A and B are shown apart, each in its own frame.
Chain A
Amino acid sequence: MDWSKNLIEEYELNSGIDIANETRKVSYTVAVREALDYALAEDESIFVMGQGVDDPSGMFGITLDLDKKYGSHRVFDTPLSENALTGIAIGASLTGMRPVYMHNRPDFLLMAMDQIVNHASKWSYMFGGHISVPIVIHATVGRGWGGAAQHTQTLQGLFMHVPGLHLVMPSTPFDAKGLILSAIADNNPTIIIEHRWLYRQSGHVPEGPYAIPFGRGVVRRIGKDVTIVAISYMVVEAMQAAEELSAEGINVEIIDPRTLKPLDEEIILQSVQKTGRLIIADTGWKTGGVGAEIAAMVAEKGFEYLKAPVKRVASLDIPTPACYVLEDRFYAGKANIVSCCKEILSVNTY
């Protein structure tokens, strides 16, 4: 996909949230839609499918009216057959197409684990790298209003475990657009997990196309006392925590890896080298999750930088409860990050 490769070079990003001098502001959902719109316009081999992609609300707005613009042969609703349709997307991708399969919730990807894990992630390797699976699987995490155990799951930990996948979790409108375009252009299967609460955000987004390379995180906030690696919606919570902490003279540095697979290890290690303290804040479960993986990576490659044990801010290791009193307990956020920072600053064992 030349159009995308060129873009990556054009917009080589070093750091910072938004592109310098960009003044246009749009919502996260508009940014996602723009990426799909651009890709559909640019490349005939792209099609977008999923339960409700042509529904009146346009799947939270991210696919709004794309079916009208590109026709129901390229943007179409599907039967409720996640596993088969993932396989169908894989098959189409093996023969020249670049399918984008949209899901209302990551929970529904569990139906498709056979095709995602046994096929999409392995096809290239299993056949000696002669052919690959350029598909994009996109899902939006739900949170709140009692969505409960089966409609709120954040399954990035599962996907991070699987070699052969890319895993992308954009936290800003700018990143969403650029990373979706990269994902579509990429020759391998990419899972994009967005968070519904990020859809409320607006941000600077260039009107034209651009791609953000995988494996390149950004520093969302510069600080010297503690490094917080924040994933997806936790970037928002971490930024708020940082504000609160700065009033108390604590300066945290916030790293947003943007893609978990590949992971920008360098940006994390450099930050930890500076601060000596690491907190990972993830939207998923704690045990065996993204936080565990990043902590292990730093233990392996940056142990000597650490002045205190690594800490994780994550959801409780239970299914999401429905009742909001329990939901409040379940989800970690700003307050947990603040107290975690204070705790980690109170130890100085090394």
Chain B
Amino acid sequence: MKRPRTVGKILELAKDKSLHGVQPEVAIELFQCMKLIRFVEEAIADRYSEQKMRCPTHLSIGQEAVAAGVCLALNPDDQVFGTHRSHAHYIAKGGNIKAMIAEIYGKATGCSSGKGGSMHLVDLSVGFMGSTSIVGNTIPVAVGAAMANRLHKNGRVCCVFFGDAAVEEGVFHESANFAVLKKLPVLFVCENNLYSVYSPLKVRQPEGREIWKFAAGYGMPSAHGDGNDALEVFEKIQTALEHIRRGDGPFFLEFATYRWREHCGPNFDNDLGYRTEEEYLSWKERDPIALLEAQLLPRGAISQADIEEMERAIQAEVDEAFDFAERSPFPDPDEAFVGLYRE
């Protein structure tokens, strides 16, 4: 994502270990990207009860660091496939926000012309290839796209995001095997947020299981990291990308993170009892945005005034996107037939 900078002043800092060797400019980009995701999704949450966004909507609030860290490490022409919970992936890859909000509103100007809703986002201009709502089913598709990249010798990497539940699907394992077999340029990114809807990991996978070790078992290098630390994500992805771009085949990364709100929808649901308020609060304390801010501010990489300016600019962008969505027309009912086959 190369959005126009909204921050005026960026101090030139020497490489600093605590920034994981990440350049301050990049760290600020990560920060800005996470803020943008957060602002967009909080606006969705705030306005959801107006009932104009009539589709199942899975928010990534709390998980922004993975999307930002991964997508900013990718090249603009690398590709990304997403899941049912992909606003963050789409935004971080540089997807058009107006078109995304319009899609959630079901408008003709939406990125999928109103056909898809929140769970089916696409922006081919930035390599966001599509997100779908069947768990695990974009994994092989990403492997296929990577195979095409290899055949085209275009040097592109294809990245696929999925949750901890997706590795329970056989198709993950079949895809991983093939990707390793053919040494394909695929980046597998598992966002482990501990739950599949209301089901905790322990009822789905043996206790003590480390997902990233699956991948190692298939013969691809794999690693895991703190998914709430955008710098760590960014740095680990860079290492993975070096491996992939060298032609050494796929790489698997698992990041630990946490969704703050309900599985689907704008509310908090810790009161239901499937997880505890304490657990939620302990993750909230490790808010990925606050964590990065705490690293940037004391170093003078960014000032409070910069942040405020950044927030104003982001808020304006978000407001504009909602305004665009609200003002856009609905598709004509006869549009229902358009797009089934391509001319």
Q: Which residues of A contact B (CB under 8 A)?
A: 51-52, 55-57, 76-84, 107-108, 110-111, 145-151, 316, 318-319, 321-326, 328-330
Contacts and interface: CB of A to CB of B under 8 A. Distances in A.
Contacts of A150: 119, 132-134
Given A79-B204, A323-B107, A323-B115, A56 B54 contact: no
Given A151-B133, A322-B120, A55 B170 contact: no
B38 to A, nearest CB: 23
A182 B204 CA distance: 30
Given A316-B337, A322-B116, A325-B331, A56 B199 contact: no
23 contacts: A52-B197, A55-B198, A55-B274, A56-B198, A57-B272, A77-B199, A80-B168, A80-B196, A81-B168, A81-B169, A82-B169, A111-B169, A146-B55, A146-B117, A146-B118, A148-B55, A150-B134, A319-B115, A323-B106, A323-B114, A323-B117, A325-B114, A326-B335
Contacts of A52: 197-199
Contacts of A316: 336-337
A328 B330 CA distance: 12
Contacts of B333: 325-326, 328-329
B94 interface: no
Interface string B306-339: 0000000000000000000000001101111100
A80 B215 CA distance: 18
Nearest to B57: A146
Contact of A80 (B55, B132, B165, B274): B165
B217 interface: no
A78, A84, A322, A328: most-surrounded residue (chain B CB, <10 A): A322
A66 B166 CA distance: 27
Contacts of B135: 80
Contacts of A325: 106, 114, 330-331, 333
Contacts of B166: 80
A81 B340 CA distance: 29
B169 A80 contact: yes
B54 A51 contact: no
A56 B273 contact: yes
Chain B residues touching A, range: 35 or more
Given A56-B272, A146-B56, A326 B114 contact: yes
Nearest to B116: A322
B33 to A, nearest CB: 26
A318 B198 CA distance: 32
Contacts of A329: 333-334, 336
Nearest to B339: A318
B274 A56 contact: yes
A51 B335 contact: no
B203 interface: yes
**Residue of A82, A108, A146 with highest tally of chain B CB at under 10 A:** A146
Contacts of B266: none
Contacts of B331: 323, 325-326
Given A148-B133, A329-B334, 4 more contacts: A146-B56, A146-B118, A147-B55, A148-B117
B115 A326 contact: yes
Contacts of A147: 55-56
Contacts of B199: 51-52, 55, 77
Contacts of A82: 169
Contacts of B272: 56-57
B127 interface: no
Contacts of A322: 55, 103, 106, 112, 114-117, 119-120
B197 A51 contact: yes
A113 to B, nearest CB: 13
Contacts of A56: 198, 272-274
Given A79-B165, A80-B196, A107-B134, A330 B336 contact: yes
Contacts of A328: 333
